[in-house]
Structure 1
Amino acid sequence: MRRRLAMDGLADDVTVASAGTHGYHVGEAPDIRAVEAARYRGVDLSALRARRVDADDFERYDMVLAMDRDHLDFLRRLAPPKHRDRVQLFLDYAPDHKGHDVPDPYYGSEDQFDTVLDLIEAAADGLLDEVHRRLGRKAG
């Protein structure tokens, strides 16, 4: 998403962050298979470190996107009532995958990381269109 925003000249206008719903891997780098699959597509994930979502995230961000419905439910319960509408399912921004979960490739094969990246890229394209709409700009 950051790369797409930068390519559209929006990197200074939009903040993107990533967080997990549980603290199992706080401070750790992404799975090496994810890093390698992303690197092959020209995206560098090596500097990312895991963190857990916190209550301030619902104030800080206009959108909080969940990768699957279990996380969606968790985040909606965690969100203050006035910000529950900010919590959405990420793949709802991918026209062919609305209502679907991004599968967790952790216990799967390396190919599953590519499949997940395909889904993420499709949703990122739709999300970029939404960012343009919210900012009142035409897509670049």
Structure 2
Amino acid sequence: MKSLLFVCLGNICRSPAAEEIFRALAAKNNLTDFKAASAGIGDWYVGHLPDDRMREAAQDRGHFLASRAQAFKKEFLDSYDLILAADTEVLHDLYKFADTPQMKSKIHLLTSFSPIYRGENIPDPFYGGRKDFDLVLDMLEDSCQGLIDYFKNQNSKKNGPS
């Protein structure tokens, strides 16, 4: 089973939405061998549900965000196969936890899998309005679909031509 961890700043907007979007897309694509979770670099919101505005915007798209915020722990570098950062600031913070090249190789910018937003930062919508939350969801949906496509491509290579 592959395990993925989505990471943003406080784990109440971007990363819990990415976690749920990835889960929904994995289920839709019959990819059952994945575990997804999320965390925040900071510990300000540990135990809280995702931001109400993000939950509402996500629910309007059929995504129900119910995970509780947790802070990133160094041990996650051992327990997850892939760690996906919402932006380059989070990416650099994650690299500070990684002591080895193997640990660093697990850490990626989430949009590196996006066909449309490749390499862009997913902006923190916390101080914005509904359009900011919608943009973040657009970016997350595209990036997570790119991630699904990447895994499906990996599986087809492993299984050989059909």
TM-score (structure 2 length as normaliser):
0.79
**Structure 2 residue aligned with 1:10:** 31
**Deviation (angstroms), 1:96:** 2.3
Distance, in Å, in 2 between the alignment partners of 1:121 and 1:83 is 26
Q: 1:30 aligns with which of 29, 46, 50?
A: 50
Q: Supply the AA of the counterpart residue of 2:93.
A: F
Task: Flag the structure with more relative contact order, 1 or 2, with Cα contacts below 8 A and sequence separation at least 6.
Answer: 2
Gaps of 5+ in 2: 1-21
Distance, in Å, in 2 between the alignment partners of 1:111 and 1:5 is 26
**Structure 2 residue aligned with 1:62:** 81
Would you say 1:123 and 2:143 are equivalent positions? yes
Distance, in Å, in 1 between the alignment partners of 2:113 and 2:79 is 21
**Structure 1 residue aligned with 2:15:** none
Q: Contact 1:58/1:80 (CA < 8 Å) preserved in 2?
A: no
Distance, in Å, in 2 between the alignment partners of 1:98 and 1:37 is 23
* CA shift in 2, pair 1:137/1:39, >3 Å: farther
Gaps of 5+ in 1: none
Describe how 1:53-92 pairs up with structure 2 within 5 A.
Answer: 53-81=72-100, 82-92=102-112
Would you say 1:105 and 2:102 are equivalent positions? no
Q: How many residues align?
A: 136
**Deviation (angstroms), 1:77:** 1.1
